[in-house]
A and B are shown apart, each in its own frame.
Chain A
Amino acid sequence: MNPVVMQLTVRGLLGRRRSILLLVLPVVLLGLAWLQRLASHGSPTQSAGLTGNFALGTLLPLMCLLIGTGVIGPEIDDGSIVYLLNKPVPRRSILLAKLLVALATTLVFAVLPVAASAAIAGDRDFTLTAAFGVAALLAGIAYTTIFVALSVLSRNAVIIGLLYALLWEGVLGGYVPGVKDVSVRQWALAPAEHMLGADAAGYGVTSAVTVSVGLTLLAVVTVGAAWLGIGKLKTLRLAAAD
């Protein structure tokens, strides 16, 4: 983990125009949660619907895509990554430093707003807030790591990531039985379902996998993605078109 790489990454991530989206999307979510609270008089069931479907299913993967592809993708595209790579710093610590910045940003701009939306829209003793907070944290870590790795592996990371986030995680992962088993969202919902216990089904918080399977798969995917990203960064081709 290299502090200089982290500083440059923070400047790059928050200094670009798309960082405005990092603020806009959570504000939209919190606004919707507030409207939901007014419309449904703070019903936890309605709150779980908004947070589970929109916040966790759509907004979280999109935020992680923005953040994950923003910490290293632009530098690879324009070639400025060369100033990090031509240093006696192991490529592993460059990628891990960038990943750490991405995860911290995900926590602040994506995970906390998701949990807060449950609290605002309606909750009973913060049980929904805690359950969705844990699910968002686990899914956020996995999504962000996947997208960071994807932007090292492919120059089309945003397109691929968008298709994955919207189609696979958003649509197929929610409804198609076979796909449900291999969806980050479903894996992350397993501990949330466990935390809510008997109320889970009533809130519509159900997972296709058990807690242990979900946590194991999340860990495998996260570590695997980071490992792939590091491997690719070690051999990243930086020759000009010439």
Chain B
Amino acid sequence: MSAIVLDKVSRWYGNVVAVNDVTMTIGPGITGLLGPNGAGKSTLIAMMGGFLAPSAGTVALDGGHVWKNPEIYRRVGLVPEAEAMYDMVTGAQFLLANARLHGLEDPGAAARRALELVDMVDPSDRAISTYSKGMKQRIKMATALVHDPTVLLLDEPFNGMDPRQRLHLMDLLRRLAAEGRTVLFSSHILEEVEQIADHIEVLVAGRHAASGDYRRIRRLMTERPHQYTIASSDDRRLAAALVAEGAADGVTLTNGTLAIQTSDFGRFVHALPRLARDSGVHLLEVSPADESLESVFAYLVAR
């Protein structure tokens, strides 16, 4: 059982703050690090993996520092985001090299076991340069698992995988977590994270925006005020009906567009077509004004 503890960790590059005062503990089980692109997820994982010194604060693995301490790699397996590998060797040769670099007693057996885990035994005698993106992703996963680590750090591991490979990796991560390992993976896709993560840490613009199980995060995200813009045959009458019904918290009429704000998403989407029909109003266009993931994250930060 291993735990990574981040205490008031910040990292800046010149004037740009990539990670801002983050405190969290990553324990056994699967933790999803969720955040939009550019949120600082890779920077945070690089610091956890000992590849970047925090500008302030500390990162510790089981009480020991990770920066400038290659010994942590006996316990840590890392899947980097970068796709580049040693393209000129075969998958099997690359795995064997990784096992030997770890100084394992039987590197051949360890390499075979890791290839079996990611279902890459058959193509392993081909050069890595011939692999698809998904296959490269699995070879990266195998190199992280070859020494049977207690901690796994995965930076966007589902990138480039087809649905079948995705399910296979999710299954593998669940098994590894069930064995008591600490698994942390980053993603910018909520659905991906909530499918397998026991625990979610949300990072937005370098700040730790939310933390908890996926139900709590999902609730935070769905309970936020939603905004829609509507074009209809009679915006004024539709607005009055929505407010009277209690399906909207606020309405704004500007230049022939009706803007709606509602905190009860379910009630609004059910009431809108019914109210429009009952009032004899034709709906011409209904579009969400802030459905991007970024706006969801921005809302979490503002809380």
Contacts and interface: CB of A to CB of B under 8 A. Distances in A.
Interface of A: 2, 4-5, 7-8, 11-12, 15-16, 78-80, 82-91, 234-240, 242
Interface string B81-106: 11011101100001001101111000
B151 to A, nearest CB: 12
A240 B81 contact: yes
A235 B40 CA distance: 20
Interface of B: 18, 37-43, 46, 49, 51-53, 68, 70-71, 73-74, 76, 78, 80-82, 84-86, 88-89, 94, 97-98, 100-103, 143, 155
B97 A7 contact: yes
A238 B86 contact: no
A83 B86 contact: yes
Nearest to A81: B84
Given A242-B40, A242-B43, A88 B70 contact: yes
A239 B71 contact: no
Nearest to A82: B80
Nearest to B101: A87
A72 to B, nearest CB: 13
A86 B82 contact: no
B70 A90 contact: yes
B68 to A, nearest CB: 6
A78 B100 CA distance: 23
Contacts of B43: 239-240, 242
B86 A79 contact: no
Given A83-B94, A83-B101, 12 more contacts: A4-B101, A7-B97, A8-B86, A11-B89, A12-B88, A15-B88, A83-B85, A84-B101, A90-B70, A238-B52, A239-B46, A239-B52
Given A78-B82, A87-B102, A88-B74, A242 B41 contact: yes
Nearest to B51: A238
B230 to A, nearest CB: 37
B268 to A, nearest CB: 35
Q: Could you say which of A7, A79, A240 has the most chain B C-beta atoms within 10 Å of its C-beta?
A: A240
A170 to B, nearest CB: 32
B103 A88 contact: yes
Q: Could you say which of A8, A90, A91 has the most chain B C-beta atoms within 10 Å of its C-beta?
A: A8
A137 to B, nearest CB: 29
B38 A242 contact: yes
Q: Could you say which of B39, B78, B86, B98 has the most chain A C-beta atoms within 10 Å of its C-beta?
A: B86
A82 B37 contact: no
Nearest to B70: A88
6 contacts: A12-B88, A82-B80, A88-B73, A239-B51, A240-B46, A240-B81
B49 A86 contact: yes
A84 B80 CA distance: 12
Contacts of B39: 242
Contact of B53 (A80, A235, A240): A235
Given A89-B70, A238-B52, A242-B38, A79 B82 contact: yes
